[in-house]
Every structure is written in structure tokens, then in C-alpha cells.
Structure 1
Amino acid sequence: MPEFDRGPTALFADLLTQVPDPPVEDAFWFDWGPVFYRGRLDGSARLLIVASDPGPTERIAGRSLVGNAGQRVQGFLSKLGLTRSYVCLNAWAYAVHPSQAFAMKERLDDPEQKQWRNAVFDRATDATLQAVVAMGFMAREAVRLWAARPHVPLVEVPHPSSHDPVALLDAWRDAVAELREVVTPDDDGDNTGPTYGTEFRESDYSAVPRRDLPFGAPQFLGDDAWVRATAGGPQNSVSRPSPDDKHTLLWKAPG
């Protein structure tokens, strides 16, 4: 039986559909709509990953952290021995224009935004949660504003798309060591392997599991190893072309 994500329960879906519009519509790729999560929404997650906002690959998949950054996150999860017991959420359900990121960080505290986001964080976690990882400054602020955050370890690291690879690898290496002490691996996972070296290698990536994607997703979605194999080329199979990035996505399949 093929594995795939059957989506949220009706009750959870009702909460997700109540997502408020962004506070400044032009600061977001608003016309593409929101993207909400990836992983387990049933309270079984032992680790919550919070990142910033969805990218173009996430819009294609309808799931968070699926593109190049998400495949780095999946590699991070693999080093913790987690194959399914996690959930990935974002500070914003809508994609933020990079030039507006710092300005929109200040809007995470808008009452309507905070109330809805915290309700999602609350609903997606349960007593099984063992740790929270905030990836990047937007995620750190969103977690800081989470009033009912469970009393579990919080690890703050750079976003997987950080332009400072040395700081990113140093922080992620330390985070893996810390989290291996508190997060129970899945039965089919292994948390005893190597962590990170001095540069990102292909072995530090993992493909997004089919169980995290909707039924019918093509086999290559969530695995951009073939894109990264071209030195100096793009990192994702999906991109927003300029100047019509508001209404156009380019999605390339492997040859």
C-alpha cells in the first residue's frame, strides 16, 4: 500500500481555513495562497520544527519544507533518527518577499495573526512533544510569542537557507548533539551516524518521505538531488521567474 499524507482531520482543517490574510498583502506572494504544514498533525510528533514561510516548491507540494531547504531539514531529522514523529510548521502560512522579511517579523505580534498561529501550534502538539527547533529569526519570534509553548527544550538555529554556511553547520552540529540526548528516535531511525562536517554534502540531505506528501505526487517531488548535481546551478526544481513572480512558477522535471 503506497504511503501518502491524507491531510488534516476535519476539525484541524477548519482551524487552518481560518488563517487570516497577511497584514500587508503586497509584502507576500498572496495570490498563491497559504501552505500550512508537513508531518504529523495527530499529536504524535516528538519534535516540532518551526521555520519562516513557504517557498515555490512548497506551493507545488501543498506542504511545508519540501524544497532544497526542506530536504536539508529532512537530513537534520534523519540524523536524529526521526522518520515520521515530527511536524513542520511556519511562522507565516503565506510566502514573504525577502525584502519585507524584517518588517513582517514585527507583524507576527498582530493579535489576529498570533492568536491563529498559536492555536495551530497548540493543536499540532501534545504530551508526546520532546523538543522544539526554531530555524531562523522569523521562527524564533513566532516561538517567543507562543504563550502556551510546552515546557520542553527549545533549540534555536539558523534557517536552512542561511547564507552563512559556517555558522549554519556549527549550529546544526551542536543542535544534533543536544537533541540526540532528549528526542527518542523512531523504531526505523538511527541517531548514531555522523553529523555535519565543514560544508554541506549531498549526504546531509534527505528526500521528503512519501508519507509527507499528498497522494499522486510525482516521485521526484521533494528530492532535488538531480538539480544540486549541477555545480553552480539552481538548488530547486521550482522557481519564481522575474518579473512575473506574482503569477508564474517554473517547475522542471528531471530528464
Structure 2
Amino acid sequence: MLHPFDPGYVAEPFLTLCSDYPDATVYPADQFRVEWGPIFHRGRLDGSARVLVIGQDPAQHETVIRRILVGEAGRRVQGLLAKLGITESYVCINTYLYSVYGSVKAATARKPELVGYRNRWFEALFESRNIEVVFALGQAADAAWQAFRATPQGQAVQVSYAAVTHPTQPESSAAGDKTKLADATKKLLRNWNAGLQAVHPGLTHPDTPTPPVLYGDTWAVGDRVPIPERDYPAGLPAWMRENDGWATRSGPDALAKRRNITIKVTRGVVT
């Protein structure tokens, strides 16, 4: 059985981008988990991407796998892309290379070195001139896009754009309250429907031409789509690709949780 995989950063300008990246002098250690290293992208880097997704920052699953948007948020994003007829032709990058620790100060978010490096990724991705649609997930991602659009290179880019609610915002805002979760999910899906309708006319080269089927008031069957195996590094076990919750930040206090990521093989894999 063949297992397709992401070959990594094998060509310029991505080779240079992945060898010349900002460190703790740009990403302060009191605001980012720089000790776990940078995580760069997920998806196509060969110029075939038609949709660019801008996320926020990597969590613990991304830290282990070294690709972004690989957990529940990633599956929801795959469903969003599928509603546009996009199954392969996409690429994802984050606003921040490193996992946020606490919150990011406004001055840090605007650092020329931080913004400038991220803009180099945007410039590299738009070299092919094939990207037709951009989604920004959350306010930080929208700010990242607007910072790029303010540059001469960004002003030359012509795409359909939608800033949408981050895919796991309902869980974050509800804090375990089921009523709040239902309300927040309903609001998110209405927001995503508006985003789909805004960008759909601008997507002229979907993988599978399809009319956008809008979301209901809650997640339905088919709204969450598995992430293709070809998005992951070679040899990643299936249970890491197919499940969530196997990586947790563990420890009795904040420092211990920062130092530790506990990985547990999901139930049913080992009998």
C-alpha cells in the first residue's frame, strides 16, 4: 500500500525561508514557546495552490507533527475548503511561527523583523500567481494579511478574500458551557457561510467544480474532513493523522506544562 507524503522544503525560496528564520530575539520567550521551534506550513508549495489559508499559531499537535492546522481546527478547515471544491490545491501558513504563550504584545506583533519574514512567505506563495482565494482565520490572521497588503508586493495581488472566525473559537469562548458553545457555533457557521459566498465567485479553478453547500446551525456529517496523508511528513503513524487529543501539555504548574508535551497512543491502536 502506497503512502503519499509531503517531501518537505526541497526547493527555493522555501529552502532559504526554512533555514533563515527569526529566533527569540524577534519572538520573545515570554510571549512564545520558542523552545519547541518554528512550524512553517501545511499543503502545496509547488505553485499549484489555489487557496491560501492563514492560521494563527501552532498548538501541541502541530509541535509534534511539524505541520500546521493538523487537529480539530484543521479538519474543520478541510471541510470549509471542500465546500469550495478544493481537495488538494491549498496551502496554509500561520500568523506566528511559534506557539503563543499567554498573549502577544501589540508591539511584538508589529515588529518589522516578524512581519517582514512572514511577508517573505506571502511573496513566495504568490510567485506562481495561481492563488485565487485567501481565508484568514481570526483577527491575528486578518491583521497579518492586511500588513502584507500594505506592501507594494501585496498591493499587486488580486484575490478574493474573507476574514472568518477561527475554527475553534466556539470552544475557546464557551469554556465548557454547552449553551454558549451552541450559540457560538451557530454564529461561526453563519460567518463561514458569508465567507464562502464572498469568495466562491473568485475561485475559477477548483479541484472539483461544485456549488457551495452552506452550513446549518451546527456541525453536520461531512463538515469535518480528514486531512490528506500527503500533507504529513513521511512515516507519520495513522493514529496521529486520524485522531486528536493524543498530545497534551502536562504538569502541575505553568512552567511544567510549558516544558512537557505528553504523547499517548490513542485507544484501540495497541491491544
> Is TM (by shorter chain) over 0.5?
yes
Q: CA RMSD of the aligned region, Å?
A: 1.8
Cα pair distance change 1:41/1:117, threshold 3 Å: same
Q: Percent same amino acid at aligned positions?
A: 33
Consecutive unaligned residues of structure 1, counting only runs of 5 or more, are 228-235
Partner of 1:121: 122
Amino acid at match of 2:41: Y
1:141 aligned to which of 118, 140, 143:
143
Cα pair distance change 1:184/1:223, threshold 3 Å: farther
1:17 aligned to which of 16, 19, 27:
19
Equivalent residues in 2 for 1:112-191, closer than 5 Å: 112-125=113-126, 126-146=128-148, 147=151, 148-149=153-154, 150-163=157-170, 164-184=184-204, 186-187=206-207, 189=208, 191=210
Q: Please, what TM-score do these two structures have when normalized by structure 1?
A: 0.87
1:237 and 1:41 map into 2 onto residues whose CA distance is: 28
Partner of 2:261: 249
Give the number of the structure whose alpha-carbon radius of gyration is greater.
Answer: 2
Deviates more, 1:32-41 or 1:161-170: 161-170
1:23 and 1:58 map into 2 onto residues whose CA distance is: 18
Amino acid at match of 1:123: A
Cα pair 1:49 1:133 within 8 Å, conserved: yes
Equivalent residues in 2 for 1:1-255, closer than 5 Å: 1-11=2-12, 12-21=14-23, 22-97=26-101, 99-101=102-104, 103=105, 105-125=106-126, 126-146=128-148, 147=151, 148-149=153-154, 150-163=157-170, 164-184=184-204, 186-187=206-207, 189=208, 191-192=210-211, 194-224=213-243, 236-242=245-251, 243=253, 244-254=256-266, 255=268
1:237 and 1:182 map into 2 onto residues whose CA distance is: 38
1:253 and 1:201 map into 2 onto residues whose CA distance is: 27
1:184 and 1:248 map into 2 onto residues whose CA distance is: 45
1:207 and 1:129 map into 2 onto residues whose CA distance is: 23
Amino acid at match of 2:53: I
**4+ residue runs over 6 A deviation:** none
Cα pair 1:54 1:64 within 8 Å, conserved: yes
Cα pair 1:180 1:191 within 8 Å, conserved: no
Partner of 1:233: none
Cα pair distance change 1:106/1:35, threshold 3 Å: same
Consecutive unaligned residues of structure 2, counting only runs of 5 or more, are 171-183
1:106 and 1:165 map into 2 onto residues whose CA distance is: 32
2:191 and 2:242 map into 1 onto residues whose CA distance is: 24
Deviation (angstroms), 1:95: 0.4
Cα pair distance change 1:237/1:186, threshold 3 Å: farther
Cα pair distance change 1:51/1:250, threshold 3 Å: same
Cα pair distance change 1:18/1:171, threshold 3 Å: same
Cα pair distance change 1:190/1:152, threshold 3 Å: closer
Deviation (angstroms), 1:37: 0.2
Deviation (angstroms), 1:75: 1.1
Deviation (angstroms), 1:245: 2.0
Count residues with an aligned counterpart. 241
Q: Please, what TM-score do these two structures have when normalized by structure 2?
A: 0.83
What CA deviation, in whole Å up to 9, does each residue of 1:9-35 have, x standing for no partner?
242122122111243212111111110
Deviation (angstroms), 1:197: 1.0
1:56 and 1:184 map into 2 onto residues whose CA distance is: 36
Amino acid at match of 1:183: L
